[in-house]
Amino acid sequence: MKRFHIHVGVKDLNHSVQFYSTLFGQQPTKLKEDYAKWMLEDPKVNFAISTRVTEQGVDHMGIQVDDSAELSELTERLKKADLGVYGEGETTCCYAESEKAWVKDPSGIAWETYHTMNDVDVFSEKPKQASASACCAPKATSTKSCC
């Protein structure tokens, strides 16, 4: 099964959590001081927000998969699009251990395809840098920040 992923940068996490919880009719499935995520079944969306961005609004899009075989299939599709896939491999990001591949679409929007293996207690293993990307997107694709 594949699940559409959207990550939005927000200024006020608490206010945004209140809004999206009302909109989706449920509380986040993951809530941290700087991050919230809803794993919605209808529609099948992994919707995440965080304050770890340089700009507010849509940060990146993605497709989450259930296993490595699906990830390989999607990564191959991205390679056929001939836009330059940047495989990050296994990483810790957005309070999860995942395997990822990144690409920018023709409009410059960062897309990730990923398989999440485990939840973890840290946002990222990479040190947070104030002037650089705050999260997971490799520099080749990063226009804003994260997942």
CATH number of the domain at 62, please: 3.10.180.10
Q: Identify which of 102, 34, 96, 107 has the alpha carbon closest to the alpha carbon of residue 74.
A: 102
C-beta of residue 28 within 8 angstroms of C-beta of residue 21: yes
Least confident of 77-81, 109-113, 115-119, 132-136: 132-136
If one counts the domains in the chain, the total is 1
Residue 8 is assigned to a structural domain of this protein: yes
- pLDDT confidence of residue 141: 45
Residue 88 CA to residue 38 CA, distance in Å, equals 24
pLDDT at 73 over 60: yes
- Domain containing residue 104: 2-119
Residue 55 is assigned to a structural domain of this protein: yes
Residue 144 is assigned to a structural domain of this protein: no
Residue 131 CA to residue 111 CA, distance in Å, equals 21
pLDDT at 128 over 80: no
| Strand partners for 90 | 99
Residue 143 CA to residue 55 CA, distance in Å, equals 10
Residue 42 is assigned to a structural domain of this protein: yes
Contacts of 97 (CB under 8 A, 6+ apart): 90, 91, 116, 117, 118, 119, 120
Residue 146 is assigned to a structural domain of this protein: no
Residue 86 CA to residue 104 CA, distance in Å, equals 9
Residue 10 is assigned to a structural domain of this protein: yes
Q: What is the pLDDT of residues 7-17, one digit of tens each?
A: 999 999 999 99
pLDDT at 1 over 70: yes
- pLDDT confidence of residue 133: 41
Residue 34 is assigned to a structural domain of this protein: yes
Residue 139 is assigned to a structural domain of this protein: no
* Global pTM value: 0.74
Q: What share of the chain is helix, strand, coil (3-state, %, to 5)?
A: 15, 40, 40
- pLDDT confidence of residue 93: 74
